[in-house]
Amino acid sequence: MKFGVVRFPGSNCDDDCYHVAKNVLGIETDYLWHKDTKPLSEYSCIIIPGGFSYGDYLRPGAIAKFSPIISSIKEFADKGGLIIGICNGFQILLESGLLEGVLIRNKNLNFICKDVYIKVENKNTPFSKTEKNILKIPIAHKEGCFYCDESLLNKLKSNNQIVFRYCDENGDITEKVNPNGSLYSIAGICNEKGNVLGMMPHPERCSEKILGNEDGRQIFQSIIDYLS
- Contacts with other proteins by CB under 8 A lie at 58-59, 62, 66, 95, 101-102, 104-109, 145, 147-149, 181
Minimum separation from the CB atom of position 201 to other proteins (A): 21
Smallest distance from other proteins to CB 107, Å: 5
Residue 148 or 196 with smaller CB distance to other proteins: 148
Q: Least CB distance from residue 105 to other proteins, whole Å?
A: 6
Q: How far is the CB of 220 from other proteins (least distance, A)?
A: 30
Nearer to other proteins, 109 or 210 (CB): 109
202 counts as catalytic = yes
Backbone angles phi, psi at 112, to 5 degrees: -110, 125
Nearest alpha carbon to residue 220 among 134, 133, 132, 129: 129
- Of 45, 148, 202, 206, the catalytic one is 202
> Of these residues, 95, 121, 143, 204, which one is catalytic?
204
Annotated catalytic residue, options 87, 145, 167, 190: 87
27: left (phi over 0), alpha (psi -120 to 50) or beta: beta
The distance between the two most distant Cα atoms of the chain, rounded to a whole number of Å, is 46
Nearer to other proteins, 31 or 184 (CB): 184
Q: Which is nearer to other proteins, 33 or 66 (CB)?
A: 66
CA distance 88 to 53: 7
Q: What length does the chain have? A: 228
CA dihedral (135, 218, 188, 111) in degrees, to 10, reads 60
Distance of alpha carbon 150 from alpha carbon 220, whole angstroms: 31
| CA dist 25 → 15, 161, 178 (Å) | 14, 27, 31
Closer to other proteins by Cβ: residue 66 or 111: 66
- CA 86/CA 188 separation, integer angstroms: 9
> Shortest distance, CB of residue 101 to other proteins, whole angstroms?
7
In sequence order, the β-bridge partners of residue 137 are: 116
Known active-site residue 75: no
Helix, coil or strand: residue 141? strand
Q: List the catalytic residues.
A: 87, 202, 204
